[in-house]
Structure 1
């Protein structure tokens, strides 16, 4: 097994949101270095991938949660064989629905959310944590956890992240990346439709896809032990496959 797994956090979330998952991974495999990384705090969305490529280690496994997973896919495709494997956590191929990928957030819903964030970021971020937690076993506690660890970001940085969520299309990256892929979804996700899991598997039958039926978009916080088991099993398969 490779010694390092680098995980990118999601939009408007700090690496602390992935800490329960890191703890679960470390408890099972103490020698595995799990590196949690924030997204770039840059106002130009076109600079984000370059910043990540310059900052993140080039060896080991690469993954991310939501927007972090979408960016990890782009980076994995760029690095090719230098990336041992790709892991997406509640990360859709396209976050905003479009022709050819309707299993995503409806465009009008996304556009209204982005406009609301521009008008009142504080209230929109609070609403966002509720959406992340929606469908979870204890949604209120989950939302509170997210609110307590939410980073303070400039409005331009928040909007740059939303622009990436609107524009990124991971189909070319996932299709060209030569390494193993694991994509984990949540059955009660209010931000990424559960149907995206089957759509991805239908489109790329060779990748591994798993859906945690009774989980929200906050899957890494909500079911870290189960998630850790799935990730480590995938990494072991990748090492021997």
Structure 2
């Protein structure tokens, strides 16, 4: 596959079957690299993909087909046969990759993610559209402040949230901020992507790994979605919010490894 832009940045380490991670909006590989190295590198060949305009990845000058351009860029650098883990926006993208290229995906794990991020008349287990609209407007005024607000929101509701928020923000302020154009594209994808009906026909093993107190994704969504995808597994990390791997690293890793080792 030849794309009209440089390939996305990846970090690779470990040995064993392929295991690929795609991070969420406003993040980069360094957000969860240490956690992944600690719990997964001894058993898997790990690939961390940085989304367009994040970390060391180039941005993408998208046309009208934004979603497909991002998917193609991810497929370009993703190992041929891999277990796939996506967090938040990365989970939406991982779902779509598995839908489009099921022969390349051994399993899909969606951490703090759903098939549709914003509410609709027939989908209540999501955030209100106004939240992402507010983020979109705020980005143009002060991207750094908008990201800080989002980082706080992701950890709210977690055990020890106050201390975790301080720690996470101090870490992120030492890192390169994503490009505003790519943040805008990511918000657009969160607003537009809806994988619900396509997932009905997905046959690869799926794990929904959710935080009990996630302020962005109500855990009740699994009750409704289990009728759409009854073969999927669901694991709830008690006391966690939207970043279970950060607040509850051992519990989150245990749930993921338990699923992966069955495949």
Q: Which stretches in structure 1 are left out of the alignment for 5+ residues? A: none
Cα distance change, pair 151–218 in 1 and its aligned pair in 2 (3 A): farther
Aligned partners of 1:19 and 1:145: how far apart in 2? 16
Q: Kindly indicate whether residue 70 of structure 2 is the aligned counterpart of residue 56 of structure 1.
A: no
Aligned to 1:100: 122
Runs of 4+ in 1 over 6 A off after TM superposition: none
Aligned partners of 2:189 and 2:167: how far apart in 1? 25
Deviations 1:125-147 (A, max 9, x none): 11011001101222233223433
Question: What do you get for the CA RMSD once the two structures are aligned?
Answer: 1.9
More helix by share: 1
Secondary structure of 1:84's match? strand
Aligned partners of 1:162 and 1:43: how far apart in 2? 15
Aligned partners of 2:115 and 2:254: how far apart in 1? 23
Aligned partners of 1:82 and 1:176: how far apart in 2? 16
Aligned to 1:205: 230
Cα distance change, pair 159–34 in 1 and its aligned pair in 2 (3 A): same
Cα distance change, pair 151–165 in 1 and its aligned pair in 2 (3 A): farther
Q: 1:17 aligns with which of 23, 31, 37?
A: 31
Residue-pair matches, total = 236
- Contact 2:144/2:177 (8 A) holds in 1: no
Higher RCO structure, 1 or 2 (CA under 8 Å, sep 6+): 1
- Contact 1:20/1:220 (8 A) holds in 2: no
CA shift for structure 1 position 43: 4.6
Aligned partners of 1:171 and 1:110: how far apart in 2? 20
Q: What TM-score do the two structures reach when normalised by structure 1?
A: 0.90
Q: Kindly indicate whether residue 65 of structure 2 is the aligned counterpart of residue 40 of structure 1.
A: no
Q: What TM-score do the two structures reach when normalised by structure 2?
A: 0.83
Aligned to 1:4: 18
Secondary structure of 1:123's match? helix
- Contact 2:200/2:228 (8 A) holds in 1: no
